[in-house]
Copies of this chain bind each other. A is one copy, B any other.
Amino acid sequence: MRKPHEDLREAVLAEAGRLLEVEGARALSARRLAAAAGCSVGTLYNIFEHLDGVVRAVNRETMKRLAAALAEADPGEGAGRAARLEALGQGYLAYGVANPARWELLFRYRLDTPAEALPAELSTLLALLRSVAGPGPSDEALIALWAAVHGVVELAVARRLPNAAEGAEGRMIALVIEAGIRGLAAEGFGRDP
């Protein structure tokens, strides 16, 4: 019932995760992956066609983990919508800072095959955002809020913030979320639970 290589496929992905965490995104090469998983490069290419495929699979897993981390950070429906959004933003920052290699693969890896660069699991995140914001705000506004928060995290993870902002990432997230909430309010943020 299960495809021939499925065990090996999972072993490869597990080793990919290990390599990423221990040695960073640079270490994720076909040869090292094959060696770590105990097969030859040729077999790796039988399973994945291109290295892009490994990255995409890792990214799907990363998205699941990110969604889980955000669900964890979410104080839940008991808390106010504003507090929940703030918590989600801080959770997004925390996940990125804690997993720079996965973050890099997810957002900075150059995928040659143009097919959706972000895994479809992104919709899970947007759905969570939607459930917190209520049905009022447009998709565009929600995605803009995500992108704004993402900008802070991306610059923080890539170590591209000016010195003046060092250590202020959390406060900057709070500022962006606060402003975003005011912007969303004009679109009916929080109406209709």
Contacts and interface: CB of A to CB of B under 8 A. Distances in A.
A152 B144 contact: yes
B123 A139 contact: no
A159 interface: yes
A13 interface: no
Contacts of A80: none
Contacts of A148: 147-149, 151-152, 176, 179
A161 interface: yes
Interface in A167-188: 168, 171-172, 175-176, 178-180, 182-183
A141 interface: yes
Given A117-B158, A162-B126, A168 B140 contact: yes
Interface of A: 25-26, 104, 107-108, 110, 114, 116-118, 122-123, 126, 139-141, 143-144, 147-152, 154-155, 158-165, 168, 171-172, 175-176, 178-180, 182-183
